[in-house]
Amino acid sequence: MKAFVVDKYGRKNGMRPGDMPMPELREDDVLIQIHAAGVNPLDAKIRDGAFKLILPYRLPLILGNDLAGVVVRVGSRVRQFKAGDEVYARPHKDRIGTFAEFIAVKEDGVALKPTTLTMEEAASIPLVGLTAWQALIERAQLKRGQKVLIHAGSGGVGSFAIQLAKQVGATVATTTSAGNAELVKQLGADIVIDYRKDDFATMLKDYDVVLDTQGGNALEKSLRVLKPGGKLIGIAGPPDPDFAKEMGASWFLKTVMRLLSARIRKAAKRHGVSYSFLFMRASGEQLSEIAALVDTGVIRPVIDRIFPFESAREALAYVETGRTKGKVVIKIQS
């Protein structure tokens, strides 16, 4: 099958088109013919080797972390799906590879795709949808009447998270450029801050939750907008000891992650708030709940561009500019 492959970690090595063997189907797997795949900043980080200590992939590796497609075959223990089902998924983190014509995904990571969406629209959702869901619904337990700051509201995670937070009934503030202000308002943002001109840390206070997608300076400044007991959830790092424990990391990795996050955790403690790092996990059950929200019109996908399969490298380079509005998708099957 045709696929885009990483032979060696590092940006300069890139990824190449190539022929790879068909995926092996395990008894609890669903074999999917991929029609479209989402392209994410995570793909570039994996290509560059940013997670090689945490996720020791065997090279050559097929990149790609979310998809929509059609079930071709199912393993002997699969009960929820059958050949012909239209599905979408975020494969488990140790079995990625959606920049390809086929993939085998464990049944519990798959859901029927939203019926109101095209394959390309559906493929844009799994990774960002699950990230927003696990940050805001599961970890923050966001409630009606609470206030949440979502950084980079016009990006893939941000554009989904704004809509999800509004569905809960929260007041939403977001940071973006002036050119994207109208987009995030249409998605439901109540307060829009131009990060190039204004300082969010001096404009907002007494927030219950911050979802940080940026890391660095924005992460530390976010502590100042939270009220006592507030929660800062970061998806750009640094990883914390709880994440190391969740991953079943070695003693060495646990020590490294404790040191990496020591500064932000201490600063959070001084402010009377909490910091946690989120690395989203696969969940077909949560994707089913998201599909229901999409099909009732509560949440809509935001797609910047759709690239043909042969232009997957250009699609990833475009995502790396950091200027996309919503998601970028590659179309694999017509």
Contacts of 198 (CB under 8 A, 6+ apart): none
Task: Say what percent of the chain tops pLDDT 90.
Answer: 90
Q: What's the whole-number mean pLDDT along residues 204-226?
A: 95
Query: What are the distances in angstroms from CA 30 to CA 88, 90, 103, 187, 213?
Result: 11, 13, 8, 34, 31
pLDDT value for 11 = 87
* pLDDT single digits (tens) 154-201: 999 999 999 999 999 999 999 999 999 999 999 999 999 999 999 999
* pLDDT single digits (tens) 216-273: 899 999 999 999 999 999 999 899 989 888 888 889 989 999 999 999 999 999 999 9
pLDDT value for 213 = 93
Residues 296, 302, 305, 310, Cα dihedral to 10°? -60
Mean pLDDT estimate for the chain: 96
The torsion angles phi and psi of 220, rounded to 5 degrees, stand at: -65, -40
pLDDT value for 13 = 84
Task: Determine contact, residues 35/123, Cβ cutoff 8 Å.
Answer: yes
Three-class SS of residue 307?
Answer: strand
Q: Tell me the Ramachandran region of residue 212: left when phi exceeds 0, alpha when psi lies from -120 to 50, beta otherwise.
A: beta
In the block, tokens 């300069």 appear at 12
Q: How confident is the model at residue 210 (pLDDT cuts 50, 70, 90)?
A: very high
Structural domains in the chain plus CATH codes: 2-124+302-331 (3.90.180.10), 128-277 (3.40.50.720)
Largest CA distance in the chain: 58
